[in-house]
Every structure is written in C-alpha cells, then in structure tokens.
Structure 1
C-alpha cells in the first residue's frame, strides 16, 4: 500500500474482499514472460495476499509497504524473505537486481508515473520484468459518485486530485514502448459482491480503497451524510438481488514491461 492517508490501512476491512482483489494479481502473474535469475520484489505488498503466489516462482521474495498493519499480516504468510516499511515511491533496489518488480493495485496511489515507472524499470536485472495492475474504474459510477456527492455536500473540501490516478493507455504505450517489450491490456471483471448487513456492498468495497482519502477529509457526521447519499445512488445504479448480492463490473488495466537482456 502507498503511504498512509491520515490513518493506517485496516487489513481486516480490506481483506473482506480478499478473493476478488486477488484474482487480478493472479491473472497478472500468469501473464509474466520467462524471468532471468534474480529476486522478486512485491512493491506495495499490502497484507501479503499475492505473496504465496509469488513464492511459487522459486525466487527470494521481498515485500515493501508503508503500512505497518498490513506488513504485520504479510509477515504471517511466512513467504517473504524480508519486509520493509517505507514510502514505496522512494524505494530503491539494494543488492541483486530484481528479476521481477510486481506492483499489484498500488501504483495508482502514486503520482508522476512518467518519472516513476522508468525509474523502476531501470532497477531491473537484464531481461527483468516490471508487472503492474491498477484499477481503471474512476469514470464508473462506483467511483465518480463519491467525488460528485462530496463536492455537492461539502464544496471545496475534497481535492479531486488526491485520490487514485492513472494515465490513459495510449500514454503508457508511448512512455513504455521505448524501454522494452510492452504488453498492455484491460479486463473488466464482473464481481458478485455478497450481501452486507452494514451497508450497500459497493460502498463497502470502494470505501476501503478509492474513498479512503475522501472520507478521511471529513468528520464523523459528514462521513455519515456522504455515505447515506452515496448508498442511495448505489441502490439505483447497482441494485441488489433478492438475496442481497450485487453484480459489480470493475475494470482494471495491466501491463508487463520486459527490459532488454
């Protein structure tokens, strides 16, 4: 995870949708090209959900994250050779150059991709791969409505640029093609969210990630107002079935960049 926003990440709340969040990481792992010799870096490892899968590559796996709570859970997986708490934007490879830098659902929290991503690619071993997956959902109602309602209810209180941001696919293509072999794609997952006794399932899913900086800028009463307004919209846009479950389309962008051997 990226640097904590006002409060540390809550591993329990985040893990509520662990299976849905893990599937894109596994899809990214399956898309990897052959790797050279060298360790694996799980950059923004969070609670270590992808760690056991990365360990199957048969390499030393190092985890980097800013959240002490998440790192505590990652440590319990027992698959990381080492775990380091730091701002992932400032991470620099030490020791053997990594064969793989794996960035699952984390780089969208960091700015200046036009500088950051080439810097990460430059740390790879010859023939190494940078593998990235980011949500590409900002224009969907599940995400857009958080910002529009916050601006309507609390004008000027929320900075729309403080949340997750990614470049357009064409921009990544122009940026990364000169650096090596690029594979770039998107997948829309139709996720079934289970019924929640404590709110609309889409609200519970998005408030643990996208909506964190929005809610962190408000006091408790303001959060309650915003959540009530958001849920009223979600009831119409993502209606629940008779059993309370919701079918939730969620788009993600992937790329692998393999530098020359």
Structure 2
C-alpha cells in the first residue's frame, strides 16, 4: 500500500486515510474510520499565498490526540485555532488604523482568506461533532472556531464598508475640486470675454494708419475706444455668463 506523503510515517492510521489523501492537502476536511478521526486543516493563510500549508490532527479511538504541529494532545488543536484568532486580531488593528481606500484594501487582502479558512474550519469541526457527538472536546473546539469565524466575518464587513465610505468621500472631494476648477475656468472666461473686444480694438487702432483721427480732439478718441471696448466686453461677458436652461 502506498502511503500519503503528508501523513507522518510513524502514524499508524487506517489505510482509508492514506487512500483519500494525496500529495497536497486539498480542502479542509475530516474523516472517520474505525473510531479514528482524522483532520486535514490549513494553516492561517497569508496574502498572495497560492498554496495552503497542511496541518494534520489525529484523534485515536481512546480519545488521545496527535498533531503535525508543535506539541501534542488537544492543546495543539487549540493553538491552531488561536493562530487564526491572532491573525484576525492583527487585521482588526489594521482596520482601526485605516483611513484611505488603499489602506482598507490592504486589510481586505488579509482578512478575506482568513474569513474563508476560519469558516471552513468551523464547518469541519461541526462535521466532526456530528461524527462523534459524545466528545465534549470537539464541541468546545467547534465553539472556539465559531467565535474566530464570526469575528473574521464581522471584521470583513466592517472593512468593506469602511473602504466604500472612503471611496465615496474621495469621490465627493474630487467632485468638489472639479467644481472649483470649473468655476475658476468660468471666471477666467468671463475676464477674457470682457477684455477681448477692448484688446481687439486697441490692437486695430494701434496699427500705423495715418487717418488723422487718432490725433484729432485728443484724448477723446482714445477714451471713446476704451469706453466702447469695455461696453462691448460687458455685453459679451453677460452673454457668456448665462447658464444653459434645464
């Protein structure tokens, strides 16, 4: 019989477990055979992690436990759940410090895989409780996993809401800035419209046209040109300032 590579060679587990376990952990699950309860679980996932690290736990028919983690017995399983809790607490600290959509997104990158993995862990322990309903230790483990899973779910929702709020606030700030820029451009257009006729007239009359009119009755021709230019600018500016009808 070929043995699964993930199962420690010194573990005398039923053959069925070797047959159902490949070279990679696959999904989190629990198996029961001849009173042996075998857990295939995942370590708390990290951001951008493409593969999952397996953590195996074996409950013998006499109620004793073994694990591939540091330590033996039931404490190793409890430490596994605590690892998830510590990761979720770390994300909670990040969420409280987040203020921008980018910072909230970093929290989501961490909490999203933790949310899924902790929920699957709770489902596995719920299945284990169904397989061995008389084991109080499994019930306690299930309740601990539920607390972690629920906390991760609430934190995920809070982070997502915070990110959406930050994005909305940023969009409002950008809209206000755009309106301010549009208002400034509008005022510049008004100034340009006001002085454009005057600039045009003065440019035309500044040409070397020896009509004699520019020197006759000085300075009234100059003042007349200035006044006519300003009046034309005011009329054109009023036309530009009109808002389009809705």
Range of TM-score over shorter length: under 0.3
Structure with more helix by fraction: 2
TM-score by length of 2: 0.25
Using CA pairs under 8 Å that are at least 6 residues apart, name the structure with larger relative contact order, 1 or 2: 1
TM-score by length of 1: 0.24
Tell me which protein shows more strand as a share of its residues. 1
Whose radius of gyration is greater, 1 or 2? 2
